[in-house]
Chains A and B, each alone.
Chain A
Amino acid sequence: MSKFSKTVIAVATAVVCGAAGAAKYEGIGRPATPAEVKAWDIDVRPDFVGLPPGRGTPEQGEAIWLQKCAMCHGDFAESNEVFTPLVGGTTQEDIKTGRVKALVTGSVPQRTTIMKVPTVSTLWDYIHRAMPWTSPKSLQSDEVYALVAYLLNLAEIIPYDYELNQETIKEVQNRMPNRNGMTWDHGMWPWGPGVKAGGIGNGGKPDVQGSDCMKNCKKEVVIGSNLPEYAWDAHGNLKEQNRVFGPVRGKEISEAAKEEAQTAAGRQQSMLDLAKQKGCTACHGVDKAIVGPAYRDVAAKYAGKADAVDYLAQKIKNGGAGVWGNVPMPPHPSLTEEELRSLAQWIASGAKVD
């Protein structure tokens, strides 16, 4: 290759990528357009880099919440049905100190989101990217501001008429109940300069070290905990989770075995369990609509239709929207044909529970 053409190539790549590495792998990749970067670069950092403009109040948020979020998280973000509660467990004192007392005392059975999250940016970023769970990335910036504001109001961090926007959110950061609750001083981020020099971690120093004693290491063996009886039964028949040959066999769990036998014999009564197990009950009640319709309503709608079972089995498998509203049901690719049919059959025949 002539000197001349070499220069041309070098210049051309510099224009395309402006980087030394690119020349090495000629023809691979291309520059992203500004519109493409804008479409995907949605993260919001704790210092609010990436936070788009917008505004919203708890009052506005409440209306959106009841429409798009309450069915899974409860009207007051207190529900335990689909996920752990988002709000609860924090006090005015915590807002002052920036440390959630209940985390120290362990006085609250469940750690809610607001008890843990140190950075308000995290709530904004996450709701924007991932919620509502079944139609993520559908919220406008103003809606996200309003929803974050609603959650903050439920936790009594801001008043009901407070306008959350790009500026006020910085003040709110100073009221986050657990803003001082995080430590970066530990051995599990061994990389970089460490927390003392503005990085993360203590350089990788472990906080717990075992013993390498080989002989007569202790006088007695203290058993701190045994498997409770109910826990033996909670994971199915262990016999069937091991090989039927080899050095060992699985333990027969008669409770679980009995249940499995019953499932085979009398499907009706255990179908609700199957629906639970497959996550259906997060969105459907037998008598109550949650995200999707109540099963009894589905049964009524398709009563007397010859192909109802086939249709419903297909629909459960592929998911989709439009029959009961705009919210789609996610597809269920992991259900077997048998499970699909028996669930559809059960629902179509009135979702009986004994």
Chain B
Amino acid sequence: MEETLRRRMGLIRKAPENFLSPEEIDAIKQGRRDFIRKAFATATALAASGPVINAYGETVDPGKGDPNILNLPEWSTTLGMPVATRGYGLPSKYEAGLIRRQSPGLTQTAAASVSFTPLQGTFGIITASGLHFERHHQGWHEIDPTRHRFMINGLVKTPMVFTMDDLLRLPSVSRIHFIECGANTGMEWANVAVPTVQYTHGMISCSEFTGVRLIDLLEMCGADLKKGRYLLAEGADGSSMTRTIPMELVESGEVLVAYGMNGEMIRPENGYPLRLVVPGVQGVSWVKWLRRVEVGDKPYGTKDEAVHYIDLMPDGTHRQYSSLQEVKSVITTPSGGQILLDKGFYNITGLAWSGRGKIVRVDVSTDGGINWRQARLEQPVLPKALTRFNIDWVWDGKPAILQSRAVDETGHIQPTYGQLRKVRGTRSIYHNNAIQSWLVNENGEVSNVQVL
């Protein structure tokens, strides 16, 4: 009886100020209706009369109704702002919390560091360009596109130079792909280290990239594709980031010399005016501020493939040229540091991806991996792109452990921490694709845990 009443009451609860401790009032201000429910299980029955507090901390007289309906808000009763008030549009001021953030203590200096995408608040598969994660080794610049040049040399008949004019005149393609830093989730190899999905998984983004197929440019230069099985890509910034790229991926037409991202020019932090797009491969290979590509017959052993982006195995060897991003997924809501408002229905939602191709299935468990249910994959499901999954869940107020597990089109299944560590130990830093677990406690608080 009380239960049905509670449900029907929806958002509205008995006003509790007089009965509540300061902590309890805090809890309510956070929107913790469950808290109120527990403290005032009996009082709820009386809710039909007298003031109550809703999930937003507003006082409501349920006999009359919601003041947001009864008293028209200012946006319904005043003139709004004119067009082009903001020549370049911005998110609502109410979204100000969802921004790229650094993980304190991760790096010593902000110009060789990372900022993470707030996955806890993003929708669908495209990352807003302003929220795309950043990783710089020597700071970022605003490159003047009229002074930027792109050169191809090495095992080619004619080394060539292209201006941005040249590149934008050529036939273009647009493709949606994820880009994930090889060190994404790297802080969690040995144990839980960070509180939210922004920091556990936020070195991933997915965008529509527009540019020229690199193979077309190589053919213009008469590249020797027989001998030249490796490419060196090099940036124009201070670090002049260099990485070895496999010619097979270039020949498949997948590798792009891209200038566009989500309908506009690539943002400066992401490589304006030109970056390499290497689908399925870790982000460091997507060289930003791209100035040069060299065709060669051997890998290059650059700093970021001989000192970093190498995976330490239990036997003390490092895996070198570990480039591919393997099958992986994560639940983005509910996730660490969030609090469920109440028992009842939730849409568990998350992202899945694989550098080997398309995602074919995502399973979700709410009991820490004892039982699994198949989630819905939302369209579009594209190769080497983020795939959004959703699944219905009714929370009964008891502790739960939420997990997701992705499978890609090659049949590769995302492993547990136990399975991954058995082979790779805990010191790899890179390529942690273990199943993520979120513990929901009775208060609805979600925290980061590792299930073996």
- The interface of chain A, by Cβ under 8 A from chain B, is 16-22, 24-25, 28-32, 36-37, 40-43, 45-47, 49, 80-83, 99-101, 103-106, 111, 113, 116-119, 121-122, 125-126, 129-130, 133, 136-137, 178, 181-184, 186-192, 199-201, 204, 206-218, 221-228, 231-232, 234-236, 238-252, 277-279, 282, 330, 333
Contact = CB atoms under 8 A, between A and B. Distances in A.
Given A104-B316, A218-B370, A189 B246 contact: yes
Contact of A40 (B112, B142, B291): B291
Contacts of B363: 212, 214
B280 to A, nearest CB: 9
Contacts of A100: 316
A82 B320 CA distance: 25
A127 to B, nearest CB: 9
Contact of B216 (A21, A47, A208): A21
Contacts of B367: 221
A192 B369 CA distance: 37
Contacts of B341: 247-249
Contacts of B401: 221, 223
B148 to A, nearest CB: 13
Interface stretch (B74-82, B188-196, B379-387): B188-196
Among B291, B292, B320, B447, residue most surrounded by chain A Cβ atoms (within 10 Å): B320
B242 A43 contact: yes
* Most chain A CB inside 10 Å of its own CB: which residue of B108, B157, B247, B450: B108
Nearest to B110: A279
Given A45-B296, A117-B307, A243-B95, 4 more contacts: A41-B153, A80-B108, A200-B321, A207-B424
Contacts of A234: 104-105, 194-195
A212 B324 contact: no
Nearest to A252: B30
Among A41, A210, A235, the most chain B Cβ lie within 10 Å of the Cβ of A210
Interface of B: 26, 30-32, 56, 94-95, 97-98, 101-105, 108-113, 118, 120-121, 137-139, 142, 151-154, 156-162, 166, 169-170, 191-196, 198-199, 216-222, 229, 232, 234, 238-240, 242, 246-249, 291-292, 294, 296, 298-303, 306-307, 310-313, 315-324, 326, 333-334, 336-341, 346-347, 356, 363, 367-373, 401, 405, 407, 412-420, 422-424, 427, 431, 435, 437, 439, 445-452
A243 B161 CA distance: 48
A18 B445 contact: no
Question: Most chain-A CB neighbours within 10 Å: which of B232, B310, B417?
Answer: B310
13 contacts: A28-B169, A32-B152, A40-B291, A130-B240, A182-B310, A189-B324, A210-B407, A223-B437, A234-B104, A238-B196, A250-B97, A277-B102, A282-B108
A126 B222 contact: no
A129 to B, nearest CB: 5
Contacts of B368: 221, 223
A208 B337 contact: no
A343 to B, nearest CB: 13
A210 B416 contact: yes
A157 to B, nearest CB: 16
Contacts of A211: 413, 416, 419
B413 A116 contact: no
Contacts of A22: 158, 220-222
Considering residues B111, B341, B347, which has the most beta carbons from chain A within 10 angstroms of its beta carbon? B111
A192 B231 CA distance: 13
Contact of A223 (B105, B307, B320, B450): B450
